[in-house]
Each structure stands twice: as C-alpha cells, then as structure tokens.
Copies of this chain bind each other. A is one copy, B any other.
Amino acid sequence: MGAARKRTASGDALANLPFAFRQYDAATLRDVLRKMYLIRRFEEGAEDSYTRGLIHGTMHLSIGQEASAMGICMPLQPADQITSTHRGHGHCIAKGADVKRMFAEFFGKTTGYCKGRGGSMHIADVAGGNLGANGIVGGGIPIAVGAALSAKKMKTGKVVVSFFGDGANNEGAFHEALNMASVWKLPVIFVCENNGYGMSTSTERSTAVKNIADRAVAYSMPGVIVDGNNFSEVAEASHAAVERARAGEGPTLIESKTYRYRGHSKSDRNRYRTKEEIDDWMTNRDPILAFETELKEFGIIDDAGIEAIREDVKREIEEGIEFAKVSPSPDVRDVAQFVYTEEPA
C-alpha cells in the first residue's frame, strides 16, 4: 500500500469523515475493498482445496479479520517488514503477496513462496517484506524486534509490524520483546489481533487484564484499542504508530478487537463458543460488509463496482489455484536443499 494520497474535498466535510476517507483517494479505497475480498476468497479457496484433499496438513483461517490485516498494512511501504502468525494469510496478502505463489506454497510446489518447504504455517514473502508466519505462538515477536533493531542500526527508515494473537500475549516472548523494544526505542509496532480466543481458551480465562492494550503501560508505550473490524479505525491507529516509529519515538501496542468465523484450525469442534456468538459477528459485524456500506455511503463505489471487484477477485483466485495445481513438486532428492546457505558439496 503506502501510496495513499489525500482526497480533495472541502475542509469541513473532511473533518466529519472517518479517517480512511480523509486519508485515501477513491481508487485506493476501492483497492482496499478488493484486497479484503482477495483475502477472504483466498482463504475460502484454500479451505475448499483442503476439503478436496489438494492441500494437506492443517490451516488457520482469518476469515472475519480482514479489516485488521488491511488496516495495519496501509501505512507500510514495500520495504517495511512484518512478522506474522499461524493465522497469517491475511497479513501476507495485505503486505502485497501474490496469491498464486501462496496457493503454490499450500500445494507444496516449488513455485510457492517457500518452495514447498513451509506451507501455510510458514507462508512468507521476504522480498515483499513479510518475514514469515510462525508456527510458534509468540515466536515472531522477538524476531520483529530484531528486524527493527536492524532498521535502526542500518538507518534504513524501515518500520516493522509484529502481528500476534491474544493468546500470544501470555507468552514470555511477548513480555521480553516489548520490554526491549521500549528500552531501545525501536521502530516496531506490536499488533495484537484479539479475536477473543487462543484456540478454545477465552481471554477471560487466560489473561489477567481486560484489554491486552492495558499491558502497554508495563512497557511505557502507548496502548491503543481499535475495533478491528472497522478498517478505518485500524488504519488510523496504524498510521499514528508508524509515524511514531519512523520518528524514532519507539514502539506502540495496538489491540485490534476482532473475531474469527472459522474454527481454530481444521480440527476444531467449536465447543467453547456458541453458534449465536458466531452468527452475531458474521451478520452484524462483518468487516467487509461494513466497509462496503461505508464506501457506498460516501459514494465511492456502487453495487456494480462491487460486483466487478468480486468477479475480478474470483478470477484471480481461480488462476492462483490453477497455477498451484500445474506447478511442479520439489524433487525428493533435493530435500536437503536450504538447510544451509552453502550446500555441502
């Protein structure tokens, strides 16, 4: 993203608009919607491929959390970096990855981002600034701090975003990483996507504070709570945090409250939450629907425009799956490739 230009409008009218509608021009906003669809359809496509046995292992879908991934990535430049989680498809796409190569990775193909070695849980796009999803809850947080340390040392001006879940906030890695980032005033933004549960365990049962952002005071950094299903709110918080980071003022903790529609992974019986709860979020708080409504309200898109985006996304997903299908599998004899940088002779 990053290429946001201010809309032209009269000052007064602007002031009443939500942040995103002040900050981005219409084309950018339409592209945001497109990307949110791309994330959702990508995951639906992956889910479907999994059901058909084309993808093995497990996967963690972020359907319902698209606004959070998109909003956070808006102020990021291509060279900025993120670390992501097991639930990382949305982050990857929001940061600019190509769904073709993502599908190819899920299909275990050499054309995948990780050449078939990583799969969903390690989806990455290093060239595009995604240092990788992580199979270890909290594992990416110190790594993000390290990337931010590099940025500071090398004076690249980069900022780094570390995505993690509510469950991760009880890991020691969270504590240690946030403390160091603050002591060293590093350009890193900690984004806790609080979807209410770490697997089956609600934040109430696992976390001794009401809001994860309340823990920011323990690291003397701003703690910001946003409605993670409201793209504009998320983007606004991210812009502020990125500005702060780039100005050398140090890290921010953003808590983005959201919800995942699907089970935790492919083996979830969904016993820990009610159908009503899920339905409520899906019907009344869907991030894409809400954003669409706003876009229409502000005259940025109409139904035909939305339909066109949907069709376009559908085509991109189909092409991506096709690309993955026809891509070659790695040669089993190359299994030891990439263990070390210099391959043994």
Contact = CB atoms under 8 A, between A and B. Distances in A.
27 contacts: A170-B175, A170-B176, A170-B179, A172-B172, A172-B173, A172-B175, A175-B175, A175-B176, A179-B206, A179-B207, A182-B208, A183-B205, A183-B206, A183-B207, A183-B208, A208-B218, A208-B219, A208-B221, A209-B217, A209-B219, A209-B220, A210-B220, A214-B217, A214-B218, A217-B217, A217-B218, A218-B218
A209 B218 contact: yes
Interface of A: 170-176, 178-179, 182-183, 205-210, 214-215, 217-221
Given A172-B176, A208-B220, 16 more contacts: A170-B175, A171-B176, A172-B172, A172-B173, A175-B176, A182-B208, A183-B206, A183-B208, A208-B218, A209-B218, A209-B219, A214-B217, A214-B218, A215-B218, A217-B218, A218-B218
A178 B220 contact: no
Contacts of A205: 183
A205 B185 CA distance: 12
A215 B208 CA distance: 12
Contacts of A220: 208-210
Nearest to A178: B208
A215 B179 CA distance: 11
A137 to B, nearest CB: 12
Contacts of A210: 220
A221 B217 CA distance: 14
A220 to B, nearest CB: 5
Report which residue of A173, A176, A179, A220 has the largest number of chain B beta carbons within 10 angstroms of its beta carbon: A179
- Ranked nearest first, the 5 interchain pairs of A and B with the lowest CB-CB distance are A172-B172, A175-B175, A182-B208, A218-B218, A215-B218
Contacts of A178: 208
A149 to B, nearest CB: 15
A175 to B, nearest CB: 3
A218 to B, nearest CB: 4
A73 to B, nearest CB: 26
A182 B208 CA distance: 6
A184 B80 CA distance: 40
A214 B214 CA distance: 12
A287 B88 CA distance: 54
Contacts of A206: 179, 183
Contacts of A176: 170-172, 175
A311 to B, nearest CB: 48
A210 B183 CA distance: 11
A281 to B, nearest CB: 25
A209 B179 CA distance: 9
Contacts of A173: 172
Contacts of A183: 205-208
A139 to B, nearest CB: 12
A255 to B, nearest CB: 13
Contacts of A171: 172, 176
Instruction: From A174, A176, A183, A208, name the one whose CB has the most chain B CB atoms within 10 angstroms.
Output: A208
